[in-house]
């Protein structure tokens, strides 16, 4: 299987770069548990690895974070996506993934010039005035420059780095193969669903490589807030926007991270927290389309206590069914309804295909008991004192302990809620996320039972039943035809039976070796009594060889039994 992964010659160069970084960082837990930290440090000195002494002392999550930074854009983005999987990774790992900064030294503008001229159809100086060729910001996928349009509008140009798509596609091919290997060969890795995680990385990165997607997302979100004068997004200039370049309005305001300037300028921080929370809840619960990375770096505050969201490359989408589940979960947490919370979690775990490792089934009673205990912790807490982010984080810990994971869209949403409450409390220490969410939840709950919504759901169910009944004769005919031909098969996948079969096979192999060894000893003893023939060390040659092979077989048999005994402890 490994050679299947390595045979694609076009990716060998990139594979060598990745392997070099991974080997140098060691992936610490194994090294530390084996007591090899000092050995790794010495190897780094011999091979002249950079920062070998520091690497040897790093925690596993820190090593992986540094390795991702060195391996480039694909791995940085993968780490940023993993930072949203609070249902899979513990908080210390999430904090390390959150440190991944998509900032690298900017390429010289002259190296980008041929590509930008090809995309714009002219020299950029002929289209934009006051073009600053010093990058305003630089990431691993794109660089940002400021300029003006002839009409005087301030704009930013986001330009994709030349050649980045080929690097990303090579990385994605290698990651896909690695994920398949992990899921197939390493049982412990299956609970992390590596194939599904890499599929999510692929979708996210390929969207981000197309810079026009960010602009389409911005316009869709702008439409959602078209009636809200306090929330806006940058204007897009489509005449000069395409896959490798986009041009958007330059936002001049106070960045979300600069709380000191916010206070100094006289902004109402409490009002900003309320408006920001209302904006995100509106996107999620009403429209099912939301900015998936609303951290302070992607927010600007402008006069009249207004908020501008930027960098809409990462968005989340929720189907109607998902929205209902999210509302039910939040309602269950707030109203302390254990049964409702358990029902939602089980629906999520079913959707996330947790049967990848069928040897580990979910203990429903144990899960319900833990959720019940979890809810008891908040039983006497007043609504205004509930910390929704803490509740959601505690809930994901319970899910991890039961090897349950969420579908990717919900994991992204969970991270958004946690980020939103943290951002709100930065602006206003008394920010109450539950109070902000309750009006939206009540509104959406009531909308479920409006006559038009009931009629819509009823009609959808009738259509589903009609389709099922319409297909039933055809499906029954196919089933009967397969039975007549003897092609009807029933597959029963029993993991424990497979394990028993493997153990039985090992025992049969040992028994065979034991019988062959015994036969060799007996046969060789007979040969040793026969005079004549070639000799070695004064002994009959065939007798000597027979004892040699029987000795090897005996040693192998003893070693196999000893190793098996150690593995069962």
Q: Are 160 and 170 in contact (CB under 8 A)?
A: no
For residue range 213-246, what is the model confidence (pLDDT) as tens digits?
999 999 999 999 999 999 999 999 999 999 999 9
Q: Would you please indicate which residues are annotated as catalytic (active-site) residues?
A: 293
Distances (CA, A) of 427 to 231, 295, 306, 421, 435: 17, 13, 14, 10, 16
69 neighbors 76 (Cβ within 8 angstroms): yes
Over residues 75-87, mean pLDDT: 77
Contact 315, 408 (CB under 8 A): no
For the chain, helix (H) and strand (E) counts, in that order, are 24, 12
pLDDT digits over 138-168, tens only?
887 899 999 999 888 999 999 999 988 888 8
Report the alpha-carbon distance of residue 413 to residue 316 in Å, rounded.
7
Distances (CA, A) of 108 to 83, 118, 161, 337, 566: 31, 17, 11, 58, 59
User: With b meaning 16 or more CB within 10 Å and e meaning fewer, what string describes 340-352?
Assistant: ebbbbbebbbebb
- Residue % of the chain over a pLDDT of 90: 22
**Band of pLDDT at residue 28, cut at 50, 70 and 90:** very low
pLDDT at 51: 52
Taking CA 119 as the corner, what is the angle to CA 113 and CA 121, rounded to the nearest 5 degrees? 90
3-state SS class at 57: helix
The dihedral over CA atoms of 160, 165, 166, 169, expressed in degrees to the nearest 10, equals: 160
Cα atoms in the 13 Å half-sphere on the side-chain side of 16: 4
Task: Please report the pLDDT score of residue 113 as a whole number.
Answer: 94
Give the pLDDT confidence score for residue 59 in this predicted structure: 72
Q: What's the Cα-to-Cα distance from 314 to each of 296, 410, 412, rounded to whole Å?
A: 15, 14, 10
Longest dimension (CA), the chain: 111
The band of 16, judged by pLDDT with boundaries at 50, 70 and 90, is: low
Q: What is the pLDDT of residue 414?
A: 80
Note the pLDDT of residue 156: 95
What integer pLDDT is reported at residue 337 of this predicted model? Answer: 81
pLDDT > 70? residue 36: no
Those residues with Cβ within 8 angstroms of residue 560's Cβ, 6 or more apart along the chain or in another chain: 506, 510
pLDDT value, residue 275: 93
The predicted model gives 368-394 an average pLDDT of: 75
What does the pLDDT read at residue 399?
Answer: 79
Q: Is the pLDDT of residue 286 over 70?
A: yes
Q: Are 553 and 511 in contact (CB under 8 A)?
A: no
Q: What is the pLDDT of residue 445?
A: 79
Weakest mean pLDDT among 75-79, 203-207, 242-246, 325-329? 75-79
As a whole number, mean pLDDT of residues 492-508 equals 63
Rg (CA), the chain: 31
> Phi and psi of 535, rounded to 5°?
-130, 160
| Residue 438 reports pLDDT greater than 50 | yes
State which H helix or E strand residue 535 sits in. strand 535-536
- List own/partner pairs for 259-265 with CB under 8 A and 24 or more apart: 259/426, 259/427, 262/301, 262/427
Instruction: Identify any residues that bridge with 308 across adjacent strands, giving them in sequence order.
Output: 232, 300
Q: CA–CA separation, 488 vs 469, rounded Å?
A: 22
Most confident of 117-121, 182-186, 399-403, 472-476: 117-121
DSSP letter string over 114-182? Answer: HHHHHHHTS-HHHH-BS---S-SEE-SSEEEEEEE-TTS-EEEEEEEPTTHHHHHHHHHHHHHHHHHHH
Residue 303 — pLDDT band, cuts 50, 70, 90?
Answer: very high
Cα distance between residue 91 and residue 76, in whole Å: 18
Q: Which of 56-65, 102-111, 354-363 has the highest mean pLDDT?
A: 102-111
Q: Are 61 and 96 in contact (CB under 8 A)?
A: yes
Q: 9 CB contacts (<8 Å, ≥6 apart)?
A: none
116 touches 245 (CB < 8 A):
yes
19 Cβ contact partners less than 8 Å away, ≥ 6 residues apart: none
Of 336 and 56, the one with more pLDDT: 336
Query: Quick one: pLDDT at residue 40?
Result: 43
SS3 453: helix
Question: What per-residue confidence (pLDDT) applies to 529?
Answer: 67
Provide the β-strand partners of residue 8.
none
Give the span between the Cα atoms of 514 and 36, in whole angstroms: 38
What's the pLDDT tens digit per position in 443-465? Answer: 887 877 777 767 776 777 787 78
pLDDT at 402 over 90: no
pLDDT(398) > 60: yes
Rounded to the nearest 10°, the torsion over CA 114, 120, 121, 122 is -70
Question: What residues contact residue 100 under an 8 Å CB cut-off, 6+ apart?
Answer: 65, 68, 69, 76, 79, 80, 83
pLDDT band for position 128 (50/70/90)? very high
pLDDT confidence tier of residue 334, bands split at 50, 70 and 90? confident
* Averaged pLDDT of the chain: 77
What is the separation of C-alpha 55 from the centre of its chain, rounded to a whole number of angstroms?
25
| Better pLDDT: 485 or 494 | 485
Running DSSP on this structure, what letter comes out for residue 489?
Answer: -
pLDDT surpassing 80 at residue 247: yes
Q: So what's the pLDDT on residue 282?
A: 92
Contact assessment for residue 441 and residue 340, using Cβ atoms and an 8 Å cutoff: no
Strand pairing of 137-138 and 142-148? antiparallel
Q: CA-CA distance, 346 to 352, in Å (whole number)? A: 10
Q: How far apart are CA 39 and CA 491, in angstroms?
A: 49
| Tokens standing for residue 314 | 């990462």
The confidence band for 57, taking pLDDT boundaries of 50, 70 and 90, is low
Average pLDDT over residues 360-379: 73
Neighbours of 434 (CB within 10 A): 19
Give the pLDDT of residue 304.
93
Band the pLDDT of 2: cuts 50, 70, 90.
very low
Provide the pLDDT for residue 8: 46
Choice among 47-56, 57-66, 139-148, 460-469 with the minimum mean pLDDT = 47-56
Q: Assess whether pLDDT exceeds 80 at residue 35.
A: no
How confident is the model at residue 485, as a pLDDT? 74
Spell out a b/e string for 455-473, using b for 16 or more CB atoms within 10 Å of the CB, else e: eeeeeeeeeeeeeeeeeee
Backbone angles phi, psi at 109, to 5 degrees: -60, -30
Q: What's the pLDDT score for residue 336?
A: 77
pLDDT at 90: 78
């Amino acid at each position: 299987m490994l050679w299947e992964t390595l045979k694609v010659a076009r990716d060998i160069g990139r594979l060598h770069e990745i392997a070099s970084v991974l080997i140098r960082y060691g992936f610490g837990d194994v090294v530390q548990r084996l007591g090899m930290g000092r050995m790794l440090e010495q190897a780094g000195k011999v091979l002249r690895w950079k920062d070998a002494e520091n690497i040897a002392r790093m925690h596993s999550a820190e090593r992986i974070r540094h390795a991702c930074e060195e391996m480039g854009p694909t791995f940085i983005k993968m780490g940023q996506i993993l930072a949203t999987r609070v249902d899979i990774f513990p908080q210390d790992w999430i904090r390390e993934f959150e440190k991944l900064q998509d900032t690298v030294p900017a390429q010289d503008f002259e190296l980008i010039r041929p590509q930008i001229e090809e995309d714009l159809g002219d020299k950029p100086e002929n289209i934009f005035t006051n073009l600053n060729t010093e990058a305003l910001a630089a990431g691993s996928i794109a660089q940002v420059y400021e300029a003006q349009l002839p009409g005087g509008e301030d704009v930013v140009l986001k330009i994709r780095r030349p050649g980045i798509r080929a690097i990303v596609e090579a990385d994605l091919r290698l990651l896909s193969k690695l994920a398949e290997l992990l899921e197939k060969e390493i049982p412990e890795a299956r609970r992390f669903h590596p194939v599904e995680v890499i599929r999510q990385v692929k979708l996210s990165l390929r969207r981000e490589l197309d810079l026009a997607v960010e602009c389409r997302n911005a316009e869709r979100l702008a439409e959602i807030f078209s009636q809200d004068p306090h929330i806006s997004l940058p204007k897009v200039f489509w005449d000069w926007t395409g896959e490798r370049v986009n041009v958007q309005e330059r936002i001049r305001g106070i960045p979300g991270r600069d709380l000191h300037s916010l206070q100094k300028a006289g902004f109402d921080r409490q009002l900003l927290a309320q408006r920001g929370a209302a904006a995100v809840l509106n996107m999620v619960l009403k429209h099912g389309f939301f900015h998936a990375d609303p951290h302070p770096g992607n927010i600007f505050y402008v006069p009249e206590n207004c908020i501008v969201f930027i960098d809409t490359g990462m968005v989340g989408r929720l189907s109607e069914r998902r929205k209902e589940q999210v509302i039910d979960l939040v309602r269950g947490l707030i109203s302390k309804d254990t049964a409702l919370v358990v029902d939602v979690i089980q629906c999520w775990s079913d959707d996330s295909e947790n049967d990848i490792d069928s040897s580990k089934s979910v203990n429903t009673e144990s899960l319900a008991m833990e959720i019940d205990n979890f809810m008891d912790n908040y039983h006497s807490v007043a609504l205004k004192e509930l910390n929704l982010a803490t509740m959601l984080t505690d809930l994901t810990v319970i899910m991890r302990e039961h090897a349950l994971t969420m579908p990717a869209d919900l994991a992204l949403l969970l991270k958004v809620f946690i980020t939103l409450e943290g951002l709100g409390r930065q602006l206003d220490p008394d920010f109450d996320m539950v109070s902000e969410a309750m009006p939206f939840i009540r509104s959406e709950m009531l909308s479920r039972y409006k006559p038009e919504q009931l009629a819509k759901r009823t009609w959808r169910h009738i259509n589903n039943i009609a389709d099922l009944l319409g297909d039933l004769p055809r499906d029954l005919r196919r089933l009967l035809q397969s039975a007549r031909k003897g092609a009807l098969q029933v597959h029963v996948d029993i993991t424990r039976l497979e394990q028993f079969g493997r153990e039985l096979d090992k025992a049969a192999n040992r028994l065979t070796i034991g019988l062959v060894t015994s036969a060799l000893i007996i046969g060789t003893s007979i040969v040793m009594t026969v005079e004549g023939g070639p000799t070695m060390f004064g002994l009959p040659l065939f007798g000597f060889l027979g004892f040699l092979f029987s000795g090897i077989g005996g040693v192998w048999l003893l070693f196999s039994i000893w190793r098996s005994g150690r593995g069962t402890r």
